Amino acid sequence: MSKIEIPIYDPRPEIAALRDEIDAAIRRVVDSGRFILGPEVEAFEEEVADYLGVRHAVGLNSGTDALVIGLRVLGVGPGDEVITTPFTFFATAEAISLVGAKPVFVDIDPRTFNIDPELIPAALTERTRAIVPVHLYGQAADMDPILAIAKEHGLKVLEDTAQAFGGEYKGRKLGTLGDAGAFSFFPTKNLGGFGDGGLLATNDDEVAEMARMLRAHGAKKKYQNEILGYNSRLDALQAAVLRVKLRHVDAFNQARRELAHAYTARLDELAGVTPPHEAPYGVHVYHQYTVRVADGKRDVVAAGLAERGVGTMVYYPTPLHQLPVCDYAECTFPEAEQAAREVLSLPMSPHISVGQIERVVRKAEEFLVRL
Ligand SMILES: *Cc1c(COP(=O)(O)O)cnc(C)c1O
């Protein structure tokens, strides 16, 4: 196979652009000798809370932990059912299972790839406790009808915002619309650190206090453990790097949007490829630029692009209800299954040039006409 000339994601240009700021931030932490929580994490939490327009931001070890801790602080536990989408990263459902609850999947809206609110009522039972919508690829799930259903049935809403830092729904930042929002700072995310990291955002004082306890072994005061918790503290080096990147995240998200629109303008003319749909209610921050390739040609297109030096990925090839670890043999979610067969994510990061996008599209054109 030929060398990948345009990878799906390349962290190096962003690091190069921010090098001096990042070096200074890391040096500050090293010199401080404080590596877990502490002033750097507190400053980051304040800055994120400010950015999101939310009362509390609690820094955690990962997005997965943010989901687990978010579910626990919202009172989800054994015997409960939690409604979510089958078309997401495994961690969404894994977290639900890890707190002892059962994920109940609801099919997606084929245009946005996000949970279809119209299908939620049929999935409710007396054990339903919460809804976990995922803002997949950086685009908002349709939150108003989800929040209305939750209100009517007394359910909690935890937003999986791992892929959508800075994205919006009707003028409000994602991760602040439900009872809590779970964020991931995995290096490839729109706001990514140099390791694992996560955060829970909430307007509820008690939820925030509980989350702070759970991240530190269930103790408010050191060695006064009140409940069983976790070791899920954000570290100061990640917080320092994330503080630098937070200052640039709007510009980076804007760059992603412009590149996405450049892709879409070109791909719209290409038969067999459907560019992503931007729902009118939100600001899509394009964590991924994901097209559909119809008629079973997705894998051929991916291989053809790889041969021509263009990296692509399939997020996600198997809907969660079909994974070996899950036991949903009786279930079928046709839209999620079709999406899993058709989706293809193209190179996307704030530092790709429009020229590179033009090259990706031309390479796709080269062989698509012959298929
Ligand atoms: C990345 C991701 C997570 C998990 O975040 P980690 O920080 O890797 O634990 C959860 N949900 C979704 C949708 C994700 O993309």
Chain segment 49-86, per-residue pLDDT in tens: 999 999 999 999 999 999 999 999 999 999 999 999 99
Pocket test for ligand 1, best of 61, 90, 160 (most atoms within 8 A of CB): 160
CA 38 to centroid of ligand 1, rounded, Å: 25
For residue 2, what pLDDT band results from cuts at 50, 70 and 90?
low
List ligand 1's pocket residues with C-beta within 6 A. 62-64, 88-89, 91-92, 134, 160, 162-163, 184, 186, 196, 198
CATH of the structural domain 249-368, one choice from 3.90.1150.10, 2.60.120.470, 2.60.120.560, 2.60.120.10: 3.90.1150.10
Among protein residues, the one whose CA lies closest to atom 7 of ligand 1? 63
Cα(128) to centroid(ligand 1), Å: 23
In degrees rounded to 5, what are phi and psi of residue 362? -65, -40
Q: List, by residue number, the catalytic residues.
A: 189
- Is 249-368 in the same CATH topology as 12-246? no
pLDDT band at 370 (very low <50, low <70, confident <90, very high): low
CA of 197, closest atom in ligand 1: 7
Q: What is the pLDDT of residues 196-215, one digit of tens each?
A: 999 999 999 999 999 999 99
Ligand 1 centroid – CA 268 distance (Å): 30
pLDDT at residue 366 above 90? Answer: no
Relative to the CA of 95, which ligand 1 atom is closest? 10
Q: Where are the domains of the chain?
A: 12-246, 249-368
Q: What is the pLDDT of residues 142-159, one digit of tens each?
A: 999 999 999 999 999 999
**In the predicted model, is pLDDT for residue 274 greater than 70?**
yes
Label each residue of 85-122 as H, E or C. CCCCCCHHHHHHHHCCCEEEECCECCCCCCECHHHCHH
Mutate to test the pocket of ligand 1, among 135, 186, 230 (most ligand atoms within 8 A of CB): 186
Spatial distance between the Cα atoms of 55 and 175, rounded to a whole number of angstroms: 12
* Packed helices 236-246 and 12-32: angle between N→C axes, nearest 10 degrees: 130
Pair of tokens at residue 137: 């690829």
Question: What integer pLDDT is reported at residue 371 of this predicted model?
Answer: 62
For 312-331, write each residue's pLDDT tens digit: 999 999 999 998 877 787 78
**2.60.40.420, 2.60.40.1180, 3.40.50.620, 3.40.640.10: CATH of 12-246:** 3.40.640.10
Q: Has residue 338 got a pLDDT over 60?
A: yes
Nearest CA to ligand 1 atom 1: 162
Question: What tokens does 335 get?
Answer: 């839209």
pTM of this structure? 0.97
Ligand 1 atom closest to the CA of 65, numbered from 1: 9
Residue 134 CA: nearest ligand 1 atom is: 13
